[in-house]
């Protein structure tokens, strides 16, 4: 899929610009996750769609658990180690998101069941998603997780927009949350295109980057149009008059 040695060597050759752009991306990530936690607690609801919460935790946690690979194994290099530190933080936040899903998700998604059963269903779903992810990771050639970083971050715009439009409100989301999201992949995709080698300069990869970032901008605008935390008044169809 891509030459891992070339990728690491190319990043080494462009250390300063890579770190500067990555720092901007990381700021966006912090804003995004902080706002998501805050909005969920503020409105007592989930701020991340369940499929994203479960997939991201499985993805990031497996990277963190492969500690020996990044620090004493085949890819003992500062870049995977830097990612490990960042993903340790995101994994902890994603555990919080799962907690929000257990605490707040039942009332919105499956109010017919009790809280204990709901918690069990969420944990069972997490185990299932984790198993699917492990199989997928086994069969794809992406040792450094760079492709799956792009694919998982690109999940947020469609599912986040679906959550926003289903609720018809900014409940559980904020404008800053979407703005932070937009900044995070903008910086990360830019570094991948510039410094990760020819495989990341294909039209498919660049298209994914453009769609993700542009959709983030659109999502930011949509959230700004809704009153945050308040239901949007959907017009009630008028019955035809009978004469």
pLDDT value of residue 92: 97
pLDDT value of residue 52: 94
* DSSP structural state of residue 240: P
Confidence of residue 227 (pLDDT cuts 50, 70, 90): low
Tens-place pLDDT, residues 115-126: 999 999 999 999
Kind plus residue range of the DSSP H or E element containing 11: helix 4-13
Mean pLDDT score of the chain: 91
0.85 exceeded by pTM:
yes
Tens-place pLDDT, residues 65-92: 999 999 988 899 999 999 999 999 999 9
* Percent of the chain whose predicted confidence (pLDDT) is above 90: 85
* Percent of the chain whose predicted confidence (pLDDT) is above 70: 93
Cα separation, 86 vs 72, in Å, equals 18
Give the three-state DSSP class for 14: coil
Helices (H), 14-155: 15-43, 50-65, 67-71, 78-109, 115-139, 146-153
| Pair 47, 177: CB distance under 8 Å | yes
Average pLDDT estimate for 113-136:
96
Average pLDDT estimate for 137-153:
93
Average pLDDT estimate for 89-96:
97
Tens-place pLDDT, residues 198-223: 999 999 999 999 999 999 999 999 99
Q: Residue 59 above 70 pLDDT?
A: yes
């Amino acid at each position: 899929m891509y030459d891992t040695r070339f990728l690491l060597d190319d990043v080494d050759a462009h250390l300063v610009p890579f770190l500067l752009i990555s720092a901007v991306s990381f700021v966006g990530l912090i804003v995004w996750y902080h706002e998501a936690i805050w909005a969920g607690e503020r409105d007592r609801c989930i701020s991340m769609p369940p499929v994203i919460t479960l997939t991201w935790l499985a993805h990031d946690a497996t990277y963190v658990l492969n500690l020996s690979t990044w620090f004493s194994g085949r890819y003992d290099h500062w870049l995977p180690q830097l990612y490990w530190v960042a993903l340790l933080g995101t994994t902890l936040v994603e555990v919080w998101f799962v907690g929000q899903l257990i605490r707040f998700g039942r009332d919105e998604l499956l109010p017919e069941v009790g809280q204990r059963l709901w918690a069990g269903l969420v944990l069972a779903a997490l185990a299932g998603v984790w198993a699917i992810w492990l199989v997928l990771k086994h069969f794809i050639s992406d040792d450094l997780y760079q492709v799956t970083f792009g694919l998982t971050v690109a999940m947020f715009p469609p599912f986040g927009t679906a959550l926003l439009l289903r609720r018809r409100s900014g409940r559980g989301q904020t404008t800053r949350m979407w703005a932070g999201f937009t900044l995070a992949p903008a910086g990360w995709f830019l570094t991948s295109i510039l410094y990760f080698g020819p495989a990341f300069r294909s039209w498919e990869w660049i298209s994914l980057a453009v769609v993700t970032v542009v959709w983030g901008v659109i999502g930011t605008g949509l959230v700004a149009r809704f009153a945050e935390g308040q239901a949007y008044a959907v017009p009630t169809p008028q019955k035809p008059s009978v004469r």
